Amino acid sequence: MAIDCDFGHSSRHQTLDKPKVLGVLSQFFLSGFLWLVRVVTYQKNLQPASIPKDRELVPDYEITQLSNHRAPRDLHDNHRLHSLKAFDKDFQLSLQPAEDVVSPQLVLMRRRPGDVWTKELYTPKGTFLQGHVTQDPRSHVAVRELGSNQLSGAIISDGHEYKIEPVPHHIRRKMNLEGHRHHVISRRSLRSKGSHAEPLKVPGKSTEQYTTSKRTRRSLDPKVIEVMMTLDKPSVDFYGNQSMNYVLGVANMVHRLYRDKSIGFDCSFTLTKVFLIESYLAELDINLNEIGSASKYLSVFSKWFQTVNTPAGSVEHFDNAVMLTRDICGTNSCQLDGLAYFGYPCSTSLGASVNDAHGVSAAFSVAHEVAHNFGVDHDSGSCYDGFIMSAGQATGVNAFKWSACSRTTLTRVFSQVTCYDNKPPKEIILPSLPPGYEFDGDQQCKFIYGSQYTLCPVTTWCVSGHCVSVGTSLPPPINGGWGAWGPYGACSRTCGGGVRHRSRKCDSPSPQLGGKPCEGKPIGEWVICNQQDCPPGGDSYRTLQCKAKSSSYDKYYPYGDPCTLWCIEGSSATIEGYVEDGTKYDPSDPKNRDICIDGVRVAVGCDDIIGSGNIFDRCFKCKADGGSCIRKEFSYTKNWVKFGLDNADPMLELPNGTTRCVIRENSPTKNIVVMKIKNSQELIFPNAISGSKDVAGTTVHYIRGGPSSEEKMYFDGPTTQALVPLFAYFGTTNVGYTITYHEPGLAAQTAFVWKTHYTGNCSKSCAQGNDHTETSNDFNNHTYYAFYLPSVDTSSSRFE
């Protein structure tokens, strides 16, 4: 079965060396887009199966392998050399660790549904690295080393932004890609559609004390800019679970720009606090605050950030506040990269900027706008040559450098103020045990000599720096072996679905004389038990767990990590460890049978058997063939112009029993779609605010990410009542809605048959030879998977 995807000029196909893949459907994050990737055996190609509507936004991409090299002796020990090939180019990356990209006490604040803030001390995974492409000394590289031969970040070179990400493990496994070196690299032009507006000066607030000529110290002590970054809700909706990685990628590149030698002194851009606005926040809501321009958004953001800052010298303090948004002009569209207040260094109210959050190249806008906060103006005159502070797009060989004019102003300002003199505070926690106890010999070897070194094996000892066999002077080691599984223990719950397991011991034999311990876990063979419903009216299982932790908890918080117990007291949510084994992974979805065991999601089939792999069909029947419902598709294109919710037009009727319904607006408008139960007057989601609501036996979800995002409403079903979606006109011509759903009924039957292919000649010219045959499952000239067909031997010999 072949899939044909027209990608225009942006199409790239990567041939896989080992194409034995039955078919993969995976969401893959690539350069700010969620890509739907399908791998098909028939063509041996990796092909995107869904395409953004704006084809100019589709980046070129390739799959490549990363190679690392030993650094020359004249380089520092911590120097990294990596190479890769993509887009007919060789990239040799010369990298060094960057220590001050984030504070050791980086605080992450998440705005969750239910007016709840969660707070955590965030330690980014991996090591921040910065450097350049050796073939392009003017290039910039800012990545994180996530593990052995795994890089995540951006390469800025030859007028392009290259985004590099490791291929996720589950995709590597299903594509039969061996090792950890495979990466997806995308390419975009750095040419911006926007520009930098003139920075704002506040009437009555003088900036002359910093921008006028005063005596400047010839040399400056190292400076640290402590920064807070906020990703607003439309941007969090767009980047999803990659939101924090996106913020870290931008911060790493901005840090790289402020570390460039052209700035004239030692300066670090350090992230101390991050806000992810994952749910509605009135103080930053675009519609509520009537934000229709970048200057209005900057004003609203500046008022808000003052309420979340802490005193100088404290762990969470920041000097400058940065907003990353995909709606920089709010309800209106505009062509701006960023906007900032001008000339207020160390200001607790005006050290702010708003920046367009389209890709990692937002780092150039952030570096530019934060410099405006310090009092650095746009380059002009002899300094106008495409530097960072160019009013337009920084281009050419100077795009990553500070001009002499910028350097002079920055040096003058930083010699007069003191708020950038201090590093973020560290909380040093002394180990409670000696280091030799916490780090064994293998770990100590790795710390000193690198990951390729280890202790001598058990059957050798160290003589003159070499591992030498001990010969027969020691008895051989005895590796451990598991004993038999014991009986099942008691069920973890008396109702509502619990789990029980069996235990075993590593005693057949136990490891001796340096032998290996048993591999695996001492408990397992989990089964689900006591599935009958609990009596009505009681607390949920998670709420019971919270109240068992503390009587002060009111209920559980449903929006954190599903296998972590979040408990609410007042308006604060607290983590209380993992949920109890057997807790439903998603209690809001009765069709999701997965559970949590030891803090990890465990797959459960629709038949409530752990690991069975059985799933609901499209009609939500367990282990069925999808033949009890019919797929429907409807396009609503009516030119309806009666204004408001009171005049909303019914789009169609979704009958009782409807499943898998998706209503999607074809492009963003001010119009909205609402829902109601048939013969009812109550509207669902009349305020066009993203959320979920239980209705007609299912949960209806509504997503509206802002003026730059189209609407989406969906539910799984099956419904217990007929539903009616309605179109409400609010001044924009209807661009159309596409509605897909499944309604009860008998689907058309498709017959699949085995097709025989004779693959060779008879083995003998006489006296009975044989001719090898192969069979494939064909229908309408396409090849399908064998699970559609009755069992048969697909390889046989015919005797003649």
pLDDT tier for residue 13 given thresholds of 50, 70 and 90: very low
Of the chain, the percentage scoring pLDDT greater than 90 comes to 37
The pLDDT score that the predictor gives to residue 102 is 93
Residue 501 in marked binding region: no
pLDDT digits (tens, 9 = 90+) for 35-90: 333 332 223 333 333 334 343 345 677 888 888 765 554 445 577 888 999 988 88
Which tokens is 448 given? 């000193």
Please compute the mean of the pLDDT values over residues 242-248 and round it to a whole number. 92
Please give the model's pTM, rounded to 2 decimal places: 0.54
Which tokens is 602 given? 């465990």
The pLDDT score that the predictor gives to residue 588 is 74
**Buried residues in 752-769 as b, exposed as e (16+ CB within 10 A):** eeeeeeeeeeeeeeeeee
Q: How far apart (Å, rounded) are the C-alpha atoms in residues 500 and 505?
A: 17
Strand pairing class (60-65; 182-189): antiparallel
Q: Are 737 and 664 spatial neighbours (Cβ–Cβ below 8 Å)?
A: yes
Please indicate whether residue 63 or residue 729 has the higher confidence score (pLDDT): 729
Q: Are 121 and 104 spatial neighbours (Cβ–Cβ below 8 Å)?
A: no
The pLDDT score that the predictor gives to residue 81 is 87
Q: How far apart (Å, rounded) are the C-alpha atoms in residues 96 and 600?
A: 35
The pLDDT score that the predictor gives to residue 457 is 66
Residue 368 in marked binding region: yes
Listed in sequence order, the residues at least 6 apart from 148 whose beta carbon sits closer than 8 Å to its beta carbon are 180, 451
pLDDT digits (tens, 9 = 90+) for 266-306: 999 999 999 999 998 999 999 899 998 999 999 999 999 99
| Spatial strand order in the sheet of 698-703 | 629-636, 737-744, 659-665, 712-715, 698-703, 691-695
Which residue bears the tokens 């609503």? 636
Query: Which one, of 617, 600, 611, lies nearest residue 716 by Cα?
Result: 617
pLDDT tier for residue 436 given thresholds of 50, 70 and 90: very low
The pLDDT score that the predictor gives to residue 545 is 93
Q: How far apart (Å, rounded) are the C-alpha atoms in residues 185 and 149?
A: 14
Q: How far apart (Å, rounded) are the C-alpha atoms in residues 409 and 474?
A: 73
Which tokens is 242 given? 């990659």
Query: Which one, of 394, 300, 390, lies nearest residue 354 by Cα?
Result: 300
What architecture (CATH level 2) is domain 223-415?
A: 3-Layer(aba) Sandwich (3.40)
Output 445-452 pairs: Cβ under 8 A, ≥24 positions apart.
451/148
Cβ-based burial of 362 (10 A; exposed 0-12, middle 13-18, buried ≥19): buried
The residue length of the chain stands at: 800
What phi, psi does 128 have (nearest 5°)?
Answer: -75, 130
pLDDT digits (tens, 9 = 90+) for 317-374: 899 999 999 999 998 888 888 999 998 898 888 999 999 998 887 898 999 999 999 9
Options 3.40.50.720, 2.20.100.10, 1.20.1280.290, 2.60.120.380; CATH for 476-512+521-615 is: 2.20.100.10
Within 198-327, strands assigned E span 223-231, 267-277, 320-325
Per-residue 3-state assignment (H helix, E strand, C coil) for 5-59: CCCHHHCCCEECCCCCCCCEEEEEEECCEEEEEEEECCCCEEEECCCCCCHHHCC
Residue 742 in marked binding region: no
Q: 236-250, 380-394, 512-526, 687-701 — which is least confidently predicted? A: 380-394
* Residue 382: pLDDT over 90: no
* Catalytic-labelled residue, pool 161, 369, 665, 743: 369
The CA distances from residue 84 to 67, 69, 342, in Å, are 6, 11, 42
Compute, in degrees rounded to 10, the torsion defined by CA atoms 658, 737, 36, 747: 30
Strand pairing partners for 795? 774
Instruction: Give the 3-state secondary structure of residue 81.
Output: strand
Would you list the domain boundaries of the chain? 223-415, 440-469, 476-512+521-615, 629-744, 754-786
- Does 369 participate in catalysis according to the annotation? yes
What phi, psi does 298 have (nearest 5°)?
Answer: -60, -40
Which tokens is 280 given? 């509605």
Classify domain 629-744 at the CATH topology level: Jelly Rolls (2.60.120)
The pLDDT score that the predictor gives to residue 723 is 96
